[in-house]
Every structure is written in C-alpha cells, then in structure tokens.
Structure 1
Amino acid sequence: MAESATLSFLKTYSIPLLLLLLVASLVRNKYKTGLSDIPGPRIAAYTKLWRLYDVWKGQAHWTAIKLHKKHGKLVRTAPNVVSVADADEISKIYNIKGNFTKTGFYPIQSVSWKKQPAMNLFSTRSEAEHRDQRKKIANAYSLESLLKMESSVDDCGKLFVEKMNSFANRDEPVDLGAWLQYYAFDVVGELTFQSKFGFLSTGGDVDGMMQAIEGMLVYASHIGQIPELHWFLLGNPLFTMLMPAMETWNQTLLFTLKAINSRTKISRDGELELEEGKVGDDMLSKWAAVKSFDPLKMSTRDIVVHLSANVFAGSDTTAIALRAILYFLMKNPDKMNKLRDEIDAAGKAGKLSDFIQDIEARNELPYLNAVIKEAMRLHPSVGFLFERHIPPEGATICGKYLPGGTIVGINPWVLQHNPEVFPNPESFEPERWLETEKNKEELANMEKHFFSFGAGSRVCMGRNISQIEMRKIIPLLVREFDMSLEGDGEWKVKNVWFTQQHMPTVRLRRREKAA
C-alpha cells in the first residue's frame, strides 16, 4: 500500500520535483564556495549555457574584453570558470611544473587511432605524458632545425608569387585570405613531409581539409564549453563498436595517413618504415629514423599523432596571423609605405636575397618584425581562455583565494588589448614595438603581456614555423605588389577557438623594383 502511495506521489509531483532539483542545482552553482562574490554576467554564475551562447555568437573575444573592462581582473564566466586579466599571474597559472592542469576542453581536439583517442602535445591533460612526448620531438621544431629546410619554404614562396602574378597580370581581384592558407598548408607539408600538399598548385582546398578543420573547430569550440557532452556525442566509446568506420570520419587523420603513405611503407606487422632513399630533414624523416633506431622511444602511433597535429593546427593559426598582418597594412597605407621603404632600402644596400632569408628578415628589417608583432597583438589567432584547473590545495589569483578544481585561464585578446599597457589598443601602431633608449621598460612590460603563443611548458611548439613563414612571405609580397582591399574593405571575424577571418578580395598590382 505504501509503495502504491509512493508511486502515486511521484507520478503526481515528478515534474515539480525535477524543477525543484534543477533550481537547487542552479542555486548551488551560484553560491559555490569561493566564487560567489566574483563579478560577471548574472546568468553565468548559474549555468554553463551562458558561455555556450556567447561562443555560439562568434564574438567571445570581444565579450571577454568588455567584461574585464567593466569588472576588473577577475570575471566569472561559468559556475566554475574564472577569466583572469593579469599578466603577473601567467607564471603561476602556466608554470613549468604543470600543476595547473589542462581542462576537459582539450581532449576533444584529438584524433582516433586504432579505435582509441590518441592525445597529442596540445590535447593531452597528463603533464607526465606531455613531458615525455615533448622530449621526443622538440628538436624538430627548433629554429636551427627548421631552417635546414628553408629552401623548401622558398619554393612555396616562389609558387605563391607566381600565382599572385597571374592575378595581377589579369587585373583580377584575388581571395588573398584563402591563398595565404594555401601557402601555410604547403609550407607545413614541406617541413613535415618534404612535399607540398598541393594547395598552391591547384589553387583550392585539397581533400576538403580547410572545410573539415573549420567543422572540427566549430564542434570543439561549442562542445568544449560543456565538455561532458562530448562523451554522449563524437567522444562516445560505443560509437567505434556500433560504427566501425567512424575513424574514417576524421579528415585530419586520413589526410595525414595519405601524406605518410607517399613517403613510407607499412611492414607486415603494421609498423611504419621510411623507404630507402627518401630520408630528409623533414619531421617524418627524423621521427621515422628515431623509430627505426629505437622503437621504444618513438612508435608509429607517436609519429601519426604528432604529424596530424601539424596538419590540424599548423596552417590555420599561421594563416590567421598572415591575414591580420596584410589586412592591417592595407588598412593603414602609411604603415605599408614605411615597411616598403625599409625593404627597398635594405634591398638596395645588398642586405636582402631575391627570396628573403629568415636571418636577413630578423636582422635587417626591424620595422617588419614590429609589424608582425603588432598585428598578432591586435588580432591573436586564439580567442578563448587557455584553460587550466587550479590544483587541489587551491591558489590565490589576483589576491583572491580560489578553491581547487576551479577553472581559470587567460585570454590573449584581453591581455593584448589592455589600454594601460598598449595605449590606443585597437589601433595598429607597429612603432610601439621599436626599441629606443627610453622605452626599454615599456617594451619589457608589453612583452610580458604578449600571450599569442601561450606560456610555460605548454607554449606553442609550432611558433618558429609560423614566424619563419611570416618573416619570409610578408616582405616578399610587400616588395613585389601594391595591394588594396576591394568593396567596403572590411573583414568578418568569427571566433571558433581560432579567430578566423573572411577577408574582402584584394587587388594586386606589380611594382617596379627599387633601383
């Protein structure tokens, strides 16, 4: 009888009970110990849905800047998430010990290998695994190592200029934003596989990779705000059993395997072996050689995972930076002319090669380096927090004790638009980065707030690749062409973790070289 009464009660009041539980959960979120007094959007303290909605709108980077301008150094953007706007906290949150661990946002951005998630240096949350994997591959990303293949980067530059010349000769506007990504993809192909991917030669998206990466970023950026959902969606381990072909959905992995197969053979036991006569200075060659010498140090899985990470992240972030540099130069003709004068003067003095070498750009073109730095400050390639979990014992951030398990992070857009450090923060002013006798202290402070590549043990491994590409192709294009934006001259930006831009078309006109 009692059981019947209980069932009757539940049937009658199930919806009110569920609503009561929901309200209780929301109130508990709001008054979470240690976080209830941190300011932010009112609804964000109750639910993660506010942050998901903000990301869905595609302008989360500007939202973050506005919130910190209104509330100060700490802003609560979800029940358990605090955005930090203080460069002095970088050394604590992103310390070399790695005790502030990565959050559930990162593993979503991994490939599947043999039906299991395969974490790369970016996606792994394990500091021990990160240290172990980094030791294996760090040398391949050093400037010295990469410059052994500088001639291959020059080949990409030559092909790019040829393609741009064809547009100039026809007086036809060009989607320069897309072509810059083609260039970045082919450079990554040369450095990673000793072979271009074919983006520049075809003038289009090869195997739908650009579209596939954009789709993966949209998924990761949205689901990453509520990472628990991933295990009910593409991260569900049952999917590989119910749909064995699911691994073939990952375009990055398939694209990587296709590139690997052009250079290697697979032995009977399924292991990768570099074909004789195909050894070079590219990353595949180096890592395959290590594997051949010591299979315990470098496995086939390691090689596939690290190469696919290059394919996924190596083109998009660099293309974003290249677009930003040229866009801001075209929007500011006085800066473009100043850079061109520097390049022409250095060329006339015999300090530049026909295809400008990286060491020449670093040493002979100070304004170029300032332009690159300012464009990346004004438009960082990443537009979200670099999220970390506070260790179990808790930590004091900006004078406020935050309990263990709280998610904290710094958004590069927030630091790099701080008006106290960068006066007129939304203006493109490369001169601010030029060293003088009087501004060394200001420069040091600006460097401390420059966060485009992250910091600490998880600083971007591919930063040298990006910087080489920028230092080589930008002066080449500026020297060879007059460039102007078509239409209203405005780009459209959508933040999907990477702050991707859609540029207006560009009109190119060949220049007469300086006498």
Structure 2
Amino acid sequence: MELLHSVVYGICVLFPVLLFIKVYHALFDPLNQYPGPFLARYTNAYGGYYAIKKCLHLTTYQNFQRYGPVIRQAPNRLVFNTVTALHDIYLSPTVTKGEAYRSSQLRAKYPSIINVIDRDQHRRKRKYIGPALSARSMRSFEPVMGEQIDVFLKALLDSARAGYTLNMTERCQRLGLDIIGLLSFGYEFNTQTQEPFRFLPGIIDAMSWRISIYMQIPLFKFMETPLLWIGKKQVIKFGDTITSIIKARTAKPKDAHYDLYSMVADLIGKGQDGLYRGELWPEAILFIIAGGTTTATAMSAMFFYLAQNPIAYATLASEIRSTFASADEICSGPQLTGCKYLRACIDETLRMAPPSLTILWREAEADRKEPFIVDGHVIPRGTQVGISLYSLLHNPEYFPDPFTFSPERWLDEQDDEGPPSVMRKAFAPFLIGDRACAGRAMAYLEMSLTLARTYWHFDFEFAPGEAGNLGRGKAGGVYGRGRPDEYQLDDIFVAAHQGPNLVFREREEGGKIGVKAQ
C-alpha cells in the first residue's frame, strides 16, 4: 500500500508539472510561430524516431516541401533550408556548436575536434591537427596514398579477370581505412588484402548511429551503458585496436612516418600550449571514423551515378584517357587539376550524396550582446538552429532539377572569375566557416586519383540482374526512398550505404598497375 500511495503521489505531483509545460508550449512558446510536425513542438522524440529509422535527412526534406524554408523539429530547435541561413549560422563569429554535441562525446575525457563546443578549444585543436590534412600535407603524403590506390586497382583487376562482382561500398571503405590509418598514425590496417581489421566499418557505423540518436534525443544517452554491455566484445575489440595503434606509433621515432603523430609528437603533454595526452585517443577515433568513411561514401556514390549515366561516363572517360599519356602521369599537378569534368563529377556527387547527413546544430554564445538573426528571423536565446545539408543541396531554388545527376551544371562555375553564384554559395558539403571539415583537400585528392586511375585501367557497369539494384531506391518506397535513380544513404550522423555492385573490364590500353604517385 505504501508503494501504491507513493506512485499515486508521484503522479499527482508530476501531472500538473507536465500539464503546465504543455500549456506553456501551446500558448506562450516563442517558437510557436514556426511550422512543423505537431509532435516536434513537445518532444525531441520526433527527431529521435527518424534518427533510429536512419532517415531523418529524408523526413526533413519532406517537411521542407510541406512547411516551407524553416521548420521546428524539436521544442527548442529550428532547421533552415536557405543559403542566407547557411551563412548567417555558420559564418557568425559569436555562434558555437549546440548543446546537442555534448551527447556526441560518449565516454571520452576530452572531446574531439569535431564535437568540442568551446570555440577557443576548437581553435587550439585545429591549429595542431589541421595541418595534417592540408593541401601541402597531402602533397607529401601522396606517394603513400598512391600505393594504397594501387592495391585498390589490383583488386579491381582480379575481379575483372575472374569475372566476379564487387560491392563498391566495401572496396571504398577499405581503401579509406587503409589510407587514414597511415595518415593518422602510420598504421597498416591492410583491410584491402587481409581480414583482421575488416570489422572496423561495422563498429564505426554502430558508433555513429548511437551518436546520431543521442544528438536528436539526448535522454536516450542513458542507454549507453546497457548498449555497451550488449556489444561488449566489439567495444573491447575496438578499444584494443585504438590502443595498439597509439602504442605502436609512440614506440617509434617521431619521424618514422609522415603522419599526424609526427606533427604533434612534440606537443603531447603540454596541455593548453599543445595537446593533453588523453586528447590523442578521441582524435585517433575521429580520424578513423571521419577519414575512413566519409570519402568512401562519396566514391561509392560516384561509381553509382557514373555507372547509370552513360553520357557522363563517356565524357569523363574521354577526358581522362585523352589528358594522360600513361598511368604514370596521373598524380597531383596541372594535368589533374585541368580535368574540369572530373572535378564537376566529384562536386555533383558531393551534392547528390553529402557524406555527412546530420543536422549541424549551432546556437548563439551565452555572452552574445546583439540579437541572433538567421535569414531575417530573430532567434530566441537557447534555441538551437541548423541546416540540413541534404535538403539544401537538393533545393531546386539553387540546384534546378535537383535529383538529376548533372556534372555540367558545374562547368560554367569553374571558368567564372567573378563572385560566386548562388549555387556555389549554397554548395557546402564540407560546411563553411571555422568549423568546416578539415579533410577537404584529402577528400578531393583521394577521389580524383582513385577515379582517374580507375578510368585509365578499366571500364565498369552495374552487375547483371537483381545484384545490380543494390544501392537504388525502390518505386513506392517509404520514408522518401522511392527514387530508383538515387543512391540510398542512411543518416547515422555520417552516411551509411551499400553498393553499388559493379563488374569491371580490363582495358588493353590500361597498362600495368603499380605506379607510385610522383
């Protein structure tokens, strides 16, 4: 009876509080003027539900079609779909990452460069870690990257000669992991040729999915401990891998490899004047998650869209095969830079399939004096705002016919020396501002070299039969997945995907594989 009385008492106390909250939201909440799904007014569970379904990017796009260019997606969150809002939010010097990012920090003592909220701490991290991903750094790292691309090409050659199908998600992820392992800590994962570390993509996807859910519905973070217990073996395996990577590299001389560690080794243990020792862990994990999967998404999507667009396929093949006299010449430099259609294909793929699908939440700093205005809207203090890159990059106001793969839309942009067009201003697959992705140079180099060398040595097409449909939408598909010509992505903070399944044919003019980047 005492327990029953306690329960009744708790309900009697809690009910008026909940009723007050609901009445307040219904009558006085300053965000009531913004349209959006009914449930989103009262609970973060709306976004959380679609994060669990891995389709929040598609649901957000559909809501923009229904409600207009700004929608309320949670009690204190607004999502915008305009280029003006993009610049107002991400270029403002007095806007920082939203509280949602605290839910992405999981168990690390120190946040990584991607989820640290404090601007000064981010600036410090970027100062020391950013140079490893710069264009200058990529020129030094290119020979190592080139060797891994050659391993990738040899796998394509084996498949061409044996006549079997390749799932490009698997191949591109392995290439990405092998490259980022070497760039971060000079560590050889060798996932392209050996089995032991091929478990990493699955763990990375599971970790990213948890982060995506927690960011949309922070209360769900209480599930972290039971989830870790359920996946205890995989968690231990991943932790042991990171530990072995760091121990193996720190046991070697600083200059044993050209990698991130060689650039920060002298700074470790210097605290605010460098890096705390514990900061190496979250940055190692970030490098593997971001560097090993995001570029793989773009490359997998690029193979998909080129395989299903014969004109774009033939135009790119002609450009690559007429620009270079041999595979030896395919390296960074004026010739590769001059491949305008290659760059157009990469940009169009990044538009169609942005590697990061999550809404990148921001809010005004606590000591901001002036009003926070986004696209003409005065944002109440404590409100988180963001852009859905998937929706913005498919906004027909900036990208006509947005679900059509059309590299040609970028060609005039490359030759225009005037101010950027509204399309170029809206093109932000790596985001903009001081929190933009530091891996832009690496991504463009890896994609350019991989695709150019693939076209030099091979022709490719979809696998025959049902296998060739992997990665496609299905007519009548729910949650926005009804476009057969769209490469399907799952929103798990970054993007998860499968396919396409391709078959490759060796070109007689392709020559021998195994040329190192110069």
**Which of 343, 346, 350 is residue 372 of structure 1 equivalent to?**
346
Specify whether residues 166 and 143 from structure 1 end up closer, same or farther in structure 2 by C-alpha distance, changes over 3 A only: same
The match for 2:104 is: 109
Is this contact kept in 2: 1:73–1:398, CA < 8 A? Answer: no
Q: Which has the higher contact order (CA 8 A, sep 6+)?
A: 2
Q: Any stretches of 5+ residues in structure 1 without a counterpart?
A: 1-5, 266-273
* Paired position in structure 2 for 1:50: 46
Matched with 1:413 is 390
Give me the whole-angstrom Cα distance separating, in 2, the residues matched to 1:495 and 1:8.
43
Select the residue among 50, 55, 60 that pairs with 1:64: 60
Q: Which moved more, 1:181-190 or 1:132-141?
A: 132-141
Could you tell me which amino acid in structure 1 is paired with residue 203 of structure 2?
A
Maintained 8 Å contact 1:184/1:315: yes
- 1:95-494 superposed matches below 5 A: 95=91, 97=93, 99-110=94-105, 112=107, 117-202=109-194, 204=195, 206=197, 208-230=199-221, 232-234=222-224, 249=235, 253-265=239-251, 274-275=252-253, 279-291=256-268, 296-348=273-325, 353-354=327-328, 356-360=330-334, 362-392=336-366, 394-435=371-412, 444-486=421-463, 487=466, 488-491=468-471, 492-494=488-490
Compared CA separation, residues 311 and 43, structure 1 to 2 (3 A):
same
CA distance in 1, matches of 2:250, 2:501: 40
Q: Distance in 1 between matches of 2:320 and 2:207?
A: 39
Q: 1:118 is matched by which residue type in structure 2?
A: Y
CA-to-aligned-CA distance 1:16-42 (integer Å, 9 cap, x gap): 654443333233334453200100111
Identity in percent? 24
Question: Counterpart of 1:121 in structure 2: which amino acid?
Answer: I
Q: Describe the superposition over 1:379-430 as per-residue Cα deviations: whole angstroms up to 9, x where unpaired.
A: 1011121101234465222222221110100111111111111110000000
1:196, distance to aligned residue in structure 2 (A): 2.6
Give the whole-Å Cα distance in 2 for the aligned partners of 1:199 and 1:207: 6
Q: Tell me, yes or no, if the aligned pair for 2:327 and 2:456 is still in contact at 8 Å.
A: no
Residue 311 of structure 1: how far off its partner (Å): 1.2
Q: Distance in 2 between matches of 1:15 and 1:178?
A: 52
Match of 1:41 among 21, 37, 40: 37
- Matches of 1:13 and 1:248 in 2, distance apart? 43
- Amino acid in the other structure paired with 2:462: L
Q: Relative to structure 1, is the Cα distance of residues 176 and 263 closer, same or farther in structure 2, using a 3 angstrom cutoff?
A: same
Contact kept in structure 1, 2:57 and 2:491, CA below 8 Å: yes
> Within 2, Cα distance between the matches of 1:317 and 1:251?
22
AA aligned to 2:79 is S
Query: By how many angstroms is 1:191 displaced?
Result: 1.5
- The Cα of 1:129 is off from its aligned counterpart by 1.0
Cα-to-partner distance string for 1:103-154 (whole Å, 9 max, x where unaligned): 2332343464xxx522111011111211122222222221111210111011
1:504 to 1:134, Cα distance in 2 relative to 1, 3 A: closer
Of 250-259 and 11-20, the range deviating more from structure 2: 11-20
Q: Which range moved further: 383-392 or 81-90?
A: 383-392
1:306 CA drift (Å): 2.1
Q: Deviations over 1:138-171 (max 9, x none)?
A: 2222111121011101100111111111111100
Q: Is the 8 A contact 2:178 2:191 kept in 1?
A: yes
Tell me the alpha carbon deviations over residues 238-285 of structure 1, each in whole angstroms, 9 at most, x when there is no partner: x99xx9x989936554323212222323xxxxxxxx437x53321112
Q: Which range moves more in the overlay, 297-306 or 163-172? A: 297-306
CA distance in 2, matches of 1:420, 1:223: 32
Cα deviation per residue 1:329-349 (whole Å; 9 max; x = unaligned)?
A: 01112111100000011024x
Say which of 86, 92, 97 aligns to 2:88.
92
Query: Any conservation in 2 of the 1:378–1:416 contact (CA below 8 Å)?
Result: yes
Q: 2:112, 2:282 within 8 Å by CA — same for their partners in 1?
A: yes
Q: How many residues align?
A: 488
Residue 367 of structure 1 aligns to a residue whose secondary structure is helix
Mean Cα deviation higher: 9-18 or 456-465: 9-18
Give the Cα separation in 2 of the matches to 1:282 and 1:10: 60
Separation in 1, partners of 2:148, 2:209? 29
Q: What SS is found at the alignment partner of 1:40? A: coil
C-alpha distance in structure 2 between counterparts of 1:494 and 1:120, whole Å: 23
* Whole-angstrom distance in 1 between the partners of 2:109 and 2:117: 13
1:80 to 68, 76, 81: 76
Tell me the C-alpha RMSD between the 2 structures: 3.2
Q: Secondary structure at the match of 1:455?
A: coil
Q: Determine the structure 1 residue equivalent to 2:476.
A: none
The 1-side partners of 2:335 and 2:172 are apart by: 19
Q: Distance in 1 between matches of 2:191 and 2:411?
A: 36
* Distance change >3 Å, CA 495–CA 285, structure 1 → 2: same
Are 1:253 and 1:308, in contact at CA under 8 Å, matched by a contact in 2? Answer: no
Unaligned runs of 5+ in 2: 472-487, 512-518
Q: Which residue of 2 aligns with 1:269?
A: none
1:224 Cα offset (Å): 1.6
Could you tell me which amino acid in structure 1 is paired with residue 98 of structure 2? Answer: T
Distance 2:249 2:23 in 1: 58
- 1:321 and 1:332 map into 2 onto residues whose CA distance is 16
Query: What is the TM-score with the length of structure 1 in the denominator?
Result: 0.86
| Separation in structure 2 between the aligned mates of residue 13 and residue 194 of structure 1, nearest angstrom | 61
Distance change (3 Å), C-alpha of 1:440 and 1:33: farther
Q: Residue in 2 aligned with 1:28? A: 24
The alpha-carbon distance between structure 1 residues 147 and 235, as it changes in their structure 2 partners (threshold 3 A), is farther
Q: 1:294 to 1:413 in 2, by over 3 A?
A: closer
Shift of 1:207: 5.9
CA contact (8 A) 1:190 1:196 kept: yes
State whether residues 300 and 500 of structure 2, in contact with CA within 8 Å, keep that contact through their aligned partners in structure 1. no
How many Å separate the matches in 2 of 1:446 and 1:226? 33
1: CA distance between counterparts of 2:198 and 2:391? 36
